[in-house]
Amino acid sequence: MIAADPPLASRLTNPALLKPPSQWGAWSPAPANFSVNDPATGGRIATVPDFEIAHVRHAIEQSHGAQKTWAAHTARTRADHLKLWFRLWLENIEDLATILTLEQGKPLAEARAEIRYGASYVEWFAEEARRLYGDIIPAPVSNQKILVTRHPVGVVAAITPWNFPNAMMARKVAPALAAGCSIVAKPAAETPLSTIAIANLAEQAGIPGEVFAVLPMTNAAAFGDEVTGNAKVAKITFTGSTAVGRKLMGQGAGQIKRFGLELGGNAPFIVFDDADLDAAVDGAIVAKFRNAGQTCVCANRIYVQSGIHDAFRDALATRIAQLRVGSGMNPDSEIGPLVSAASIGKVQALVADAVEKGATVVIGGRPIASQGHFFGPTLLTGAERSMKLATDEIFGPVAPIFRFETENEVVELANDTEYGLAAYLFSRSLSRIFHVADRLEVGMVGVNTGIISTEVAPFGGVKQSGLGREGSKYGLEDYTDLKYVCLQTQ
């Protein structure tokens, strides 16, 4: 059912990672297949079944039954399965990274880091499964006890994007399973193989296929329609665009679905005059160019105070010029391809709009002619709020510098967006750090660092960037409902 083409199949030491997960055998065959392509070459690497709405319905039905058995296990048993899954995940890191790079494009070193990052959520939630504590609240009358307990919400539907095909799924499946939920998952059609691989490892770890079901399919809207309309689905956890998140939430309103939404971002990256220049440049490189700029927490608008502007621009230009662009499978590559030809077109249009409105291209600014979807790492100066890249997620390796003068001015500019996911600020002044971090309307702030994602902290946004948190103790609570019992003792 999954046909891995020779370039992929021959590279895996454990080809069983891409076997059809066992529960597919219980479903009627998919009427068609679709191709998974390598964005570095455009060539096909595998074909997978293209499931349809009837399969989604079937998976939900199975999941609904299986969830009750899964939830009836002790937290210890669920944790043991998750720990075994974590170990298998890391034992297969090279194969998982190869699959990820071939279907998504990011350099192998980044793919390995993503596999480790994804695994860290499985380990964390295996640990947290056993700490899903309740509460006893002092009652207002003397003969009562008030007990509060947490319960799994039930069947969860997960929808993930193509930019972190391993980690985005891990961040949803691990807490859901830890809490005692089951999960029906649709990975992005561009990158279904990473999810199929971890689902096979989950089965090997004793997690039943019905408890974590995977449905590769090209008709994303059909999946969305079914899971938002099916009464057996309790929660939808979605990572993707704000537009699709809004649509799903509207569709789910009729049944009061619970939602976890990780949506778009437009992160400001603020460099004050008193910043450590080297740290700010390092931070900008990682916050802007990781995954070729295709992350929701990527620095989208780089605000640099006048006094440090030229030094920062020159240092950043030097570093950008050294970035090596190429296929992710080449160990020297630091910037891989964008996911599609459409992405190249979008990034090119944003640069053209900025230049037309007065920005200067210091370096890059155009696609690199080759067989894949490569865009040259780009630095723009003279960026202004009227430019489209000030409001749109760039999702490509383009760093626009906006010059600013005062703290109040930059806070106002930074908050001038419908999004509120991440922000970064660089300064040596402790009072400024607290003052600015407090006023930024976002869910996450990186201070003097460009890397903020970790399984121990709550990842998520405010405003149109979403609802709920992934990771940390809060991420587990999002998969539970509270129940309160009022106990009269005499």
Catalytic site positions: 262, 296
> Per CB under 6 A, which region of 7-15, 155-163, 196-204, 401-409 contacts ligand ADP?
155-163
Helix-then-strand count for the chain, H and E: 15, 21
Q: How many residues bind ligand ADP (CB under 6 A)?
A: 15
168 binds ligand ADP (CB under 6 A): no
Task: Determine the Cα–Cα distance for residues 240 and 187; give it in Å rounded to an integer.
Answer: 11
Task: Determine the Cα–Cα distance for residues 99 and 9; give it in Å rounded to an integer.
Answer: 9
Considering beta carbons, is residue 198 or 411 the nearer one to ligand ADP? 198
Tokens of 82: 């998750």
**From candidates 118, 165, 240, 420, binder to ligand ADP by CB under 6 A:** 240
> Per CB under 6 A, which region of 73-81, 173-181, 196-204, 241-249 contacts ligand ADP?
241-249
Considering beta carbons, is residue 114 or 123 the nearer one to ligand ADP? 114
User: Residue 171: is it exposed, middle or buried by C-beta count within 10 angstroms (0-12/13-18/19+)?
Assistant: buried
User: Residue 29: is it exposed, middle or buried by C-beta count within 10 angstroms (0-12/13-18/19+)?
Assistant: exposed
Alpha-carbon distances, residue 325 vs 71, 173, 217, 419 (angstroms) = 47, 33, 31, 30
Residues with Cβ within 8 Å of 411's Cβ and at least 6 positions away in sequence, in order, are 436, 439, 440
C-alpha closest to that of 360 among 396, 410, 401: 401
> Per CB under 6 A, which region of 137-145, 181-189, 416-424, 449-457 contacts ligand ADP?
181-189
As measured in angstroms, the least distance from the Cβ of 58 to ligand ADP is: 18
224 binds ligand ADP (CB under 6 A): yes
Radius of gyration over alpha carbons of the chain, in Å? 23
214 binds ligand ADP (CB under 6 A): no
Task: Determine the Cα–Cα distance for residues 158 and 214; give it in Å rounded to an integer.
Answer: 9
220 binds ligand ADP (CB under 6 A): yes
C-alpha closest to that of 67 among 179, 215, 200: 179
> Per CB under 6 A, which region of 27-35, 77-85, 217-225, 376-384 contacts ligand ADP?
217-225
Contact 216, 38 (CB under 8 A): no
Considering beta carbons, is residue 198 or 316 the nearer one to ligand ADP? 198
As measured in angstroms, the least distance from the Cβ of 61 to ligand ADP is: 19
304 binds ligand ADP (CB under 6 A): no
User: In the 3-class helix/strand/coil scheme, how is 211-242 assigned residue by residue?
Assistant: CEEECCCCCHHHHHHHHHHCCCEEEEEEECCH
Alpha-carbon distances, residue 28 vs 50, 195, 483 (angstroms) = 12, 21, 39
Considering beta carbons, is residue 105 or 240 the nearer one to ligand ADP? 240
Considering beta carbons, is residue 241 or 370 the nearer one to ligand ADP? 241
**From candidates 8, 181, 188, 196, binder to ligand ADP by CB under 6 A:** 188
247 binds ligand ADP (CB under 6 A): yes
**From candidates 33, 35, 241, 391, binder to ligand ADP by CB under 6 A:** 241
Considering beta carbons, is residue 29 or 229 the nearer one to ligand ADP? 229
As measured in angstroms, the least distance from the Cβ of 387 to ligand ADP is: 21
Residues that bind ligand ADP (CB under 6 A): 159-161, 186, 188-189, 220-221, 223-224, 240-241, 244, 247-248
